């Protein structure tokens, strides 16, 4: 028996490789981390003390192994299937169907005009109403969206950024009409505007006034909506744009540091708002790298909050995150293969300790998911939870020589990126200089080169191709849905108290030009049945408009 890894390599591995040459000269993760043939205790932290400091036990700082001591043995992750299309009524029916099928939380997809602050009848909205999400322009739309859904019992996640404070106010106002008070509401607002300038593009105003709106939500919810997660800082969209796992960690936490610093600069105590910060990550195909990424993320956040911001409340140091499987990996070719991809990705998220999960559907490379496909994605989560056994033990891959080494390497590389961004003046300054956009662009280019050359295999796309008919039974949004939405919007404008709406918009402008919190003024506007577009037009008039992506 070999006494050391080097002796084993010389005496056992090298002769085997001569007999059976390796498939590649080097094996790497998606982030370019070289993978050794095997890992031993020589690759682990050198002492028990170092191991416990970096890994420890679940439910204890630095939370590498999980934020709860018993994790899924106590409560399973929240199963959210991201939904929204056509009209508020159609989406409400899909929500109620998924809840009946065992979904445990709502996740709302808004259409593109809603995301960037235009009403459904605006010229910029033509052809986009209800296509990639649900249109919500008014309190009436939000009421229809949430009809017969008990908001004091259901947790709701809303993927919305530039118009986040408006959608939060619409949700609060709809809850009030149900008789549910703000302190009973639970859910998450994405509210992560910085990543929009980096990767996604649904911004409305320039970065710095947009940061004010983010902090205003922090302040309001700290006082009035204590169970609401005020931001979900997202690495998902940067990864979808081509970032590596290292870049996903680094750019997400650089943005998070900017948000926490902005809130602290505005006079908020870190422990008053940090416990309601959450995160949103992707789960990609490389199972072990993704598990290690989630573990590294928890440790990084705990240390950032404790060492950089002086947090004292343990909840401020606990990284809680939602995961979505990777839309960018879904293929139109052989779409049933997407079932397998999404299952592997979902498994990685669970092994990594996610708090909630969405599993993409097999048909999403071709259209919006059908009811059947959405149910199958939910069943994927339920089978992992109830039949696989992976939820029976906390951090089941913890202590793996490979996973621990990979966790350390991902953290080290991500911290190097964060330090570089800090030297540039922080995330906002780096965004204004186009740094993150350039880094992600180069990574995406390298990835595509690997696929085009065949060095990276995508089953059914560049290897194992077949001729097959296109997938049938796709969900298509009828143009009549957009006409119905516009007609309802026009009717509401004609029937509301116009004077009350104008007065509320005037007060909002006054507040926006000053320094007071904008959220109460926005709430007054939505309860006066001002439209989303009218509210955002006030902000555009005060803050200006971001017309093109920063860094291009």
Per-residue confidence in pLDDT tens, the chain, 552 aa? 677 888 888 899 889 888 888 776 668 899 999 998 889 888 866 545 565 567 889 999 999 999 999 999 999 999 988 888 889 999 999 999 989 999 888 989 999 999 999 999 999 999 999 998 999 999 999 999 999 999 999 999 999 999 999 999 999 999 999 999 999 999 999 999 999 999 989 999 999 999 999 999 999 999 999 999 999 999 999 999 999 999 999 999 999 999 999 999 999 999 999 999 999 999 999 999 999 999 999 999 999 999 999 999 999 999 999 999 999 999 999 999 999 999 999 999 999 999 999 999 999 999 888 889 999 999 999 999 999 999 999 999 999 999 999 999 999 999 999 999 999 999 999 999 999 999 999 999 999 999 999 999 999 999 999 987 667 777 777 788 899 999 999 999 999 999 999 999 999 999 999 999 999 999 999 999 999 999 999 999 999 998 765 444
Q: How far apart are CA 401 and CA 44, in angstroms?
A: 6
Q: What confidence tens digit (pLDDT) does each residue in 27-66 have?
A: 889 999 999 888 988 886 654 556 556 788 999 999 999 9
pTM of the entire predicted model: 0.92
pLDDT of residue 446: 95
Residue with structure tokens 């007999």? 19
Per-position DSSP letters for 430-496, written without gaps between them: HHHTTHHHHHHHHHHHHHHHHHHHTSS--BTTTBS----PPP-S-B---HHHHHHHHHHHHHHHHHS
Three-state secondary structure along 75-126?
CCCEEEEEECCCCHHHHHHHHHHHHHCCCCEEEEEECHHHHHCCCCCCHHHC
Nearest to 325 by CA among 312, 313, 343, 307: 343
Nearest to 393 by CA among 84, 121, 103, 73: 73
Cβ(171)–Cβ(178) below 8 Å = no
Rg (CA), the chain: 24
pLDDT of residue 24: 65
Contacts within 8 Å (CB) and 24+ apart, 11-20: 13/37
Identify the DSSP state of 34: B
Instruction: Please state the domain extents for the chain.
Output: 5-49, 50-62+74-453
Q: How far apart are CA 524 and CA 530, in angstroms?
A: 9
Cα separations in angstroms, 362 against 207, 210, 358: 36, 35, 13
Residue-level length of the chain: 552
The contacts of residue 504 (CB under 8 Å, 6+ apart) are 521, 524, 525, 528, 530
Write out the two tokens for 170. Answer: 């619409």
Q: 84-116 in b/e burial notation, b at 16+ Cβ within 10 A? A: bbbbbbbbbebbeebbeeebbbbbbbbbbbbbb
Domain 50-62+74-453: assigned CATH number: 3.20.20.240
Identify the DSSP state of 370: P
CB atoms within 10 A of CB 38: 12
pLDDT of residue 56: 84
pLDDT of residue 154: 92
Nearest to 410 by CA among 7, 33, 8: 33
Write out the two tokens for 334. Answer: 């052989």
Cβ(350)–Cβ(382) below 8 Å = no
């Amino acid at each position: 028996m070999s006494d050391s890894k080097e002796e084993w390599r010389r005496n056992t591995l090298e002769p085997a490789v001569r007999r059976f040459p390796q498939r590649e000269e080097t094996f790497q993760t998606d982030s370019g981390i070289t993978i050794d043939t095997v890992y031993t205790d020589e690759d682990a932290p050198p002492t028990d003390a170092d191991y416990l400091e970096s890994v420890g036990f679940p439910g204890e700082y630095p939370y590498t192994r999980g934020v709860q001591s018993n994790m899924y043995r106590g409560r399973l992750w929240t199963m959210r299937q991201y939904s929204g299309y056509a009209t508020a009524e159609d989406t409400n029916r899909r929500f109620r169907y998924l809840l009946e099928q065992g979904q445990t939380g709502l996740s709302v997809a808004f259409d593109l005009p809603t995301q960037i602050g235009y009403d459904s009848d605006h010229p910029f909205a033509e052809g986009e109403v209800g296509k990639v999400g649900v249109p919500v322009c008014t309190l009436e739309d939000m009421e229809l969206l949430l009809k017969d859904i008990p908001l004091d019992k259901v947790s709701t996640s809303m993927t919305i950024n530039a118009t986040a404070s408006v959608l939060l106010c619409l949700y609060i106002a709809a809850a009030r009409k149900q008789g549910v008070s703000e302190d009973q509401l639970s859910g998450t607002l994405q509210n992560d505007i910085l990543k929009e300038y980096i990767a996604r593009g649904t911004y409305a105003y320039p970065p710095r006034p947009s940061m004010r709106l983010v902090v205003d939500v922090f302040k309001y919810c700290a006082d009035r909506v204590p169970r609401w997660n005020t931001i979900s800082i997202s690495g998902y969209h940067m990864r979808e744009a081509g970032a590596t796992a290292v870049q996903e960690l680094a750019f997400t936490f650089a943005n998070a540091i900017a948000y926490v610093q902005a809130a602290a600069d505005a006079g908020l105590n870190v422990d008053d708002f940090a416990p309601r910060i959450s995160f949103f990550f992707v789960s990609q195909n490389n199972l072990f790298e993704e598990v290690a990424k989630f573990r590294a993320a928890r440790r990084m956040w705990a240390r950032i909050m404790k060492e950089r911001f002086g947090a004292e409340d343990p909840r401020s140091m606990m990284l809680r995150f939602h995961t979505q499987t990777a839309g960018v990996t879904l293929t139109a070719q052989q779409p049933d293969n997407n079932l397998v991809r999404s299952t592997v990705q979902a498994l990685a998220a669970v092994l990594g300790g996610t708090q909630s999960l969405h599993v993409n559907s097999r048909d999403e490379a071709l259209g919006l998911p059908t009811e059947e496909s959405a149910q199958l994605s939910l069943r994927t989560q339920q089978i992992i939870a109830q039949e696989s056994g992976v939820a029976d033990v906390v951090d089941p891959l913890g202590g793996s020589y490979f996973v621990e080494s990979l966790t350390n390497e991902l953290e080290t590389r991500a911290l190097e990126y964060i330090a570089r961004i800090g030297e540039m003046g922080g995330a906002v300054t780096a965004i204004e200089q186009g740094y993150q956009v350039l880094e992600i662009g180069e990574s995406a280019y390298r990835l595509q080169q690997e696929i085009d050359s065949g060095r990276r295999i995508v089953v059914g796309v560049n290897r194992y191709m077949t001729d097959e008919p296109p997938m049938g039974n796709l969900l298509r949004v009828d143009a009549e849905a957009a006409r119905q939405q516009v007609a309802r919007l026009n009717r509401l404008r004609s029937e509301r108290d116009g004077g009350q709406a104008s007065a509320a918009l005037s007060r909002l402008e006054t507040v926006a030009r000053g320094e007071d919190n904008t959220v109460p003024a926005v709430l007054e506007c939505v309860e006066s049945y001002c439209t989303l577009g009218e509210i955002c037009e006030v902000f555009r008039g005060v803050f200006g408009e971001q017309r093109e992506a920063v860094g291009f």
